[in-house]
Amino acid sequence: MRNRPTKGTAADGASARSNSRTMRGSWTQFAAVGAPATAAQHWPKFDILHHTMLSLVAPTPHVKTDFAAAHHCGFWATVALTTGW
């Protein structure tokens, strides 16, 4: 039985399928050669100084540079340091 979305529109389903194809292709490429970039999807190498990464949020994967700020990584780093994580 296929998983089907319970809410949303047909466009949401098409977007999810497209994103799923992108992710499968990237995982396959990563398993084959150690890098997830494909001809259809540029996947930048992670850059610790600029926090460049690929967001796989539908409808279209896109490069993001604000991950650390958006997810409060500075705060969580201090929690990890003070709690011994």
What tens digit of pLDDT does each residue of 29-56 get?
Answer: 999 998 888 888 888 887 777 778 888 8
HSE (side-chain half, CA atoms, 13 Å) at 53: 11
The pLDDT value given to residue 30 = 92
Report the alpha-carbon distance of residue 33 to residue 23 in Å, rounded.
15
* pTM of the predicted protein model: 0.57
